[in-house]
Chains A and B, each alone.
Chain A
């Protein structure tokens, strides 16, 4: 079992290739649409943590307070393609190297991954209970009042969270593109035999 620890070793991330699966021990932060927008519009000195050190997780958790402490109920990935419109700018400005979500991302992100030695990984959609189990502590939360629960930046301390499957790498490979091409060929074949 391959485990990456945070702060992330950027050289190690750069070497990851599509098809590799790994786990993370350390800190991951969540960010959805509004979180991306928020961080991109504020000044550097107001950014409350270093997004290059930790893995970013496209996720709006189900979370609630128990005896004054935040407890994660379930935390699976959300559809990443919605973040395509600002992910390249985000990577460029904040140096984020590991992005986790579901469904894959587009050409702009793939280009940014290549330029900055970063990877996109798929975490299994719907596997929110498994992730919640790997989250040992809610370390912090930023912009909660302004953004609301699903959109806020949640900092999770995780132990062997995963598996994360690299589906887009820093060499410009994308499993999502490869599968789409294959499916379209298969579809024509199957339809021709109807």
Chain B
């Protein structure tokens, strides 16, 4: 595997991500359209599904906000190309901006200058995880600004317990209403410190829509919140209806005795993701 091959494959991954939603997301949206009764909700879902078809057929970014380019990388401790990954990711983002094209979405917060190529200080955002083995898995999740703006972190009084967690999540889903482009996928991070809770909430979004957490007690909490969120009536794009969220995803970390961080981080219906795998031999595969 040479550098160009790696970068080209990353561009392919980004292109796949921004021009489609994951297949599990699409299926849930189709199910939702059959379930909705109100005309307004149906109109929104019909447009969403037609839009997904156009994106797929014409390789067109499904939303004009092609997001902040965000990567979660699980890299094996014996993976041979670890040293080239970071620069390859950066270069692939620059190439994608020109080729796909992506909207330039990286702005200096002090001068307000747009870098023009979606890169900048700490951007693209890369989260690293060192794991056993000699392979690398790269998750690509371009994250739109509208949904990210509806994120929330609450340092909950620990004594409020799980009931408090549920209240925070449901309050936030009601509060954000149509703004994060529902039906959303709601990522939730529990425990850790403030930083870890937010990171886990975003990481939780990587799990395919419909797939429950491996631990039963978390899976049950996800189910309960999913059901209750859809009783709120926000509906597709906030016009009222049965489908407010497509799924709820929870990740957790152990917490400090005095702290109980609760992070809520929604993803819009345009749940754009790709996943690449690089084997120990340097073969690159787009697995999702």
Contact = CB atoms under 8 A, between A and B. Distances in A.
A189 B235 CA distance: 17
A74 B62 contact: yes
Size class of the contact patch on chain B: 35 or more
Contact of B58 (A104, A129, A191): A129
B44 interface: yes
B273 interface: no
Contact of A62 (B50, B64, B177): B64
Give chain A's interface residue range (CB within 8 Å of chain B). 35 or more
Interface in B59-88: 60-66
B65 A190 contact: no
Given A76-B64, A128-B64, A179 B235 contact: yes
Given A103-B179, A130-B47, A183 B234 contact: yes
Nearest to B52: A129
Interface stretch (A47-55, A91-99, A107-115, A118-126): A118-126
Given A74-B64, A102-B237, A130-B54, A124 B178 contact: no
A75 B174 contact: no
A179 B238 contact: yes
B240 A178 contact: yes
Interface in B139-197: 144, 146, 163, 166-167, 170-171, 174, 177-179, 181
B231 A191 contact: no
A62 B66 contact: yes
Contacts of B181: 102, 125-126
B234 A128 contact: no
Interface of A: 19, 21, 59-62, 64, 73-76, 79, 102-104, 122-130, 132-133, 150, 162-163, 165, 167, 175-176, 178-180, 182-184, 186-187, 189-191, 194
